[in-house]
A and B are shown apart, each in its own frame.
Chain A
Amino acid sequence: DGGITQSPKYLFRKEGQNVTLSCEQNLNHDAMYWYRQDPGQGLRLIYYSQIVNDFQKGDIAEGYSVSREKKESFPLTVTSAQKNPTAFYLCASSSLGGYYGYTFGSGTRLTVV
C-alpha cells in the first residue's frame, strides 16, 4: 500500500544533541513537507521540497535542516540550535501542484530530556 512512513514514533533528545527524523514515501509524490505542531498553534511549516536536491525554508526553519537526495526521502534534522524542540512533527507529501491536499505521515513526538 502506498503511504508515508515516519520514524521513530517517539524520540527523546538530550540538550545539545542533534537528532534526525525520518520520512519516507512511496506515493511517487514530487513535493514533501515538514510541519511542527504545538498545542494551540496549529501546524507551522518548517521546510518543504518540490524536487530532488532542492528545498525551501518555511515559516520556522531556524534550528532545523533537511536534505532531499532521493524523491522518496526527506529527513529532518533538529539541531542543538533549536531552542524549544519539544513538539509533534508531521511529514507530508503531495503531487507537485498540491491541489488535492497532502498525504500525511503518522508523526514523530520529540521530547527534550
Chain B
Amino acid sequence: AQTVTQSQPEMSVQEAETVTLSCTYDTSESDYYLFWYKQPPSRQMILVIRQEAYKQQNATENRFSVNFQKAAKSFSLKISDSQLGDAAMYFCAYRSAIPGTASKLTFGTGTRLQVTL
C-alpha cells in the first residue's frame, strides 16, 4: 500500500516571503498522480496543484509550484510571495494511475502553515 508522509506538522512564513512544504511518498508503482490540497479555517478542501508522474516538468499554478523528484519520491510545494490568505492546512495526496485501480486518494497528515505580517 502506498503511504504519504508530511514531516512538518507546522510551518511559518512572513508575508511576501517564500516557503516550501515537504512531502514524501512510498510506492512501487511507476505511474501515479500527486496532489496538494489546501484546507483553510473554513475546512473546505481546495485543490492547489496536480502533478502527473510521467511528466518531468514541474507543475505550476500562479504563486504555487512543485519540486517533483521521482527517484527520491519527493513532492514539495513552494509558495511564493506568501499572502495572509495562504494560511491553512496543506495536504499532500497520492493516486495510483494503474488502469483498473480504484480512484481513491491517499493523504498525508498535513502541514499547518501560518503566515505572519
Residues of A with Cβ closer than 8 Å to B? 31, 33, 35, 40-45, 48, 50, 56, 58, 88, 90, 92, 94-102, 104, 106-107
Task: Verify A42–B91 contact, CB threshold 8 A.
Answer: yes
The answer to whether A99 touches B97 (Cβ under 8 A) is: yes
Chain B interface, DSSP helix/strand/loop, else mixed:
loop
Number of A-B contacts (CB under 8 A): 61
Q: Chain A residues near B45 (CB, 8 Å)?
A: 90, 92, 102, 104
Q: How far is the CA of A45 from the CA of B6 in the complex (A)?
A: 18
The one of B6, B42, B105 that contacts A101, using a Cβ cutoff of 8 Å: B105
CA distance A40 to B111 in the complex (A): 9
- Report whether B109 and A97 are in contact in the complex, using a CB–CB cutoff of 8 Å: no
Check B44–A104 contact: CB distance below 8 A.
Answer: yes
18 residue pairs from A and B, CB less than 8 Å apart: A35-B107, A40-B9, A40-B109, A42-B109, A43-B107, A44-B107, A45-B105, A50-B102, A96-B103, A98-B95, A98-B103, A98-B104, A98-B105, A99-B95, A99-B97, A99-B103, A101-B105, A107-B43
Q: Which residues of A contact B97 (CB under 8 A)?
A: 99
